[in-house]
Structure 1
Amino acid sequence: MDRVRELASKKAAVIFTKSSCYMCHSITQLFYELGASPAVHELDKDGYGREMEWALRSMGCNPSVPAVFIGGKFVGSSKDVISLHVDGSLKQMLMAAKAIWF
């Protein structure tokens, strides 16, 4: 859990993913299209990936990936991010965290 929190707080936008997850790729691409450059941590390529996946699940992220953090705070998974994007909140959150400037 501490490793997840540490990584999540190092950059304004952080996404925990798996390399084979198409929704992870889609959410990451959405952030790039909005002008953000998120830190992307692929759990299946990290030696602590299994432990981080369990930590994300204990935080309420089900499925465990993609798990999105903005400004060090857990935002949710793909469904939550898409909902925020549709209502315009995602862009505002990214701007408030200084992940994008407009």
Structure 2
Amino acid sequence: MAVKMKCGITLTLFVLTASLCLPSSAAADHSSSDAAADFVKKTISSHKIAIFSKSYCPYCKRAKAVFKELNQVPYVVELDQREDGWNIQDALSGMVGRRTVPQVFINGKHIGGSDDTVEAYQSGDLAKLLGIAEEDSDDL
């Protein structure tokens, strides 16, 4: 674009759009979000018990303790220990409507977070979902 100034000098301005001068990260973001969603779906479908957690989170520790009480070993994905943890958490948020951790799945079914898991444990629903005999339990 040429602009003529009052002093008689003509300036030529070059207008470039961001897509022409900068590499687009939109495609990479879309690809990584697809990969994260695929990972979440595969993890949930491949494991009887899947917990998406953060290693330092007290609510996550509480949910994991429930399964220890039931002598069950969940498959745990510690999001804070993975480079793609943020993307996985975004994918979970899109699937379950919550961004918080933990997110617990049993036999492909979303149970919920820590409070939901403890409540299901105390009511006996968790043992039923897992197909195990309910044992005496301590309050968590």
Residue in 1 that maps onto 2:65? 29
Greater relative CO (CA pairs within 8 A, separation 6+): 1
Deviations 1:41-83 (A, max 9, x none): 1001112211110111112353421010101221111121122
Match status 1:5 vs 2:41: yes
- Conservation of the 8 A alpha-carbon contact between 1:15 and 1:68: yes
Q: How many residues align?
A: 97
- Separation (CA, whole Å) in 2 of partners of 1:43 and 1:57: 13
C-alpha RMSD of matched pairs (Å):
1.4
Between the aligned residues of both structures, percent identity stands at: 35
Uncovered stretches (5+) of structure 2, i.e. residues with no partner: 1-36, 134-140
Q: Which has more radius of gyration? A: 2
Q: Report the equivalent of 1:98.
A: none
Matches within 5 A, 1:66-77: 66-77=102-113
Cα deviation, residue 35, structure 1: 1.2
After TM superposition, the score normalised by the length of structure 2 is 0.64
- Are 2:90 and 2:99, in contact at CA under 8 Å, matched by a contact in 1? no
**Structure 1, unaligned stretches of length 5 or more?**
96-100
Q: Whole-Å Cα distance in 2 between the matches of residues 68 and 32 of structure 1?
A: 14
Taking structure 1 as the reference length, what is the TM-score of the superposition?
0.86
Instruction: Spell out structure 1 runs of 4+ moving beyond 4 A.
Output: none
